[in-house]
Amino acid sequence: MRRWVIGTLGVLAAAVVALLVAAPQLPALVLEGYPTLLWSARGNHADVAGADSTQPRIAPGAGDIALDPRLATAFEASGGKALLVYRDGQIALEHYAPGVASDTLLNSFSMAKGVVAALVFRAIAEGRIAGLDTTLSSVLPDATGLGNVSIVSLLTMQSGIAFDGGGMLGEASGKAVETAPSPFSPLAKLHFLGLERLLGGLKLAPGDSHPFNYQNINTALLGAVLERAYDKPIETLLAEKLWAPAGAHSALWRRATLTSPVSAYCCLYASARDWIALGAYLASNGTPSEPFLPPALWRTYLGLDVPTAERDVDHYGMHVRQNVLDREGEVLQGPFTYLFGQGGQTLYLLPEQGVVVFRSGDREQLLHSTLYWSWDSLPPTVDR
């Protein structure tokens, strides 16, 4: 019996060792778990320095007013956590679910991708990256199998990298499971081990045609490009170039280990007011005296010149998306750009109207109706 027990334990130990060799990400997954919407303090995070916390980010407005009944129903049904509307320099509407407040840290999920894209465009404006057609061979030579991959192909999710299969936004093979992959998938390795463990082994899929394929690896590579271009951590770049100038307060960005770069594609934890401050800054292209980007680059980043026909079918641009409001009988009309993350985390930018809307919740909420009903919720004292 003793010999049998020892033999069984030996077999089990060998199986565990083999499992950890095949999937070294498993211990980190067990310790951290998959990302949560509300800040949980699990895992490792880098600080994103913000503006002076004693200074108001944006002028307060009407505060927590009654939502349009249709919006209230949708907000509750989707597990909504926060809904804020910014108009003409102030917060015109601010609504939270029970247990959530103006200083609650909320997960960006893939909205972080749009933030990384903004930093890429800033790097182009500052000459740190030569242009959208720049290839990884000149800016990230460590990615030996991806030398001909361009910055623009990473931004548009058309890089052709053979990684995790990706998929269209919202499909089970892609967006819907991006932060809850199989624990044995390449994406789990990226998320829990970090890009540096995978960089040398990345390759392109066969063939010359590379259609849209939504993969987090694209954004992870853009983060590495930014860090190489500036010789600074990406969280420092965000703080210096965008976060603090926008008036957002300090935030936290998830990373795989204490020493690894942040997960550029996911999990920037900030308050709803911080997201509104960021959105207002991007929608106005910084300030008149200190623009964030040259006008042409700003228009390209936000996709302001994307035709209506492409917006009608929901256009995926440079890590941000474009759509249009055209419902008959609605007052609010016209094109909009939005940053989008798992569970329907959404930052809407409407530069022409001077409007920014932020919505956070457990599940997706109707994209267009959220804007229409938010507009209809604004009090009569706000000039609509």
Domains of the chain, CATH where assigned: 69-101+272-377 (3.40.710.10), 106-270 (3.40.710.10)
What pLDDT score does 50 carry? 94
Phi/psi region, residue 223 (left: phi>0; alpha: psi -120 to 50; beta: rest), is: alpha
What pLDDT score does 138 carry? 94
Region of poorest pLDDT, from 154-168, 210-224, 302-316: 154-168
Q: What is the average per-residue pLDDT within 166-185?
A: 49
Q: List pLDDT tens digits, range 267-280.
A: 999 999 999 999 99
Look at residue 332 and tell me whether its pLDDT is greater than 50: yes
Look at residue 224 and tell me whether its pLDDT is greater than 60: yes
Between these two residues, 113 and 189, which has the higher pLDDT value?
113
H or E element, residue 311: helix 308-311
The pTM is what? 0.90
Q: List pLDDT tens digits, range 228-274.
A: 999 999 999 999 999 999 999 999 999 999 999 999 999 999 999 99
Q: How confident is the model at residue 27 (pLDDT cuts 50, 70, 90)?
A: confident
DSSP letter for 262, please.
B
What pLDDT score does 177 carry? 39
CA dist., res. 175 & res. 214, Å (int): 7
Q: List pLDDT tens digits, range 48-73.
A: 999 987 666 676 665 668 899 999 99
CA dist., res. 324 & res. 311, Å (int): 6
H or E element, residue 121: helix 111-125
DSSP letter for 286, please.
B
Q: Is 147 in contact with 137 (CB distance < 8 Å)?
A: yes
Query: What is the overall mean pLDDT for the chain?
Result: 88
**How large is the greatest C-alpha to C-alpha distance in the chain, in angstroms?**
83
Q: How confident is the model at residue 174 (pLDDT cuts 50, 70, 90)?
A: very low
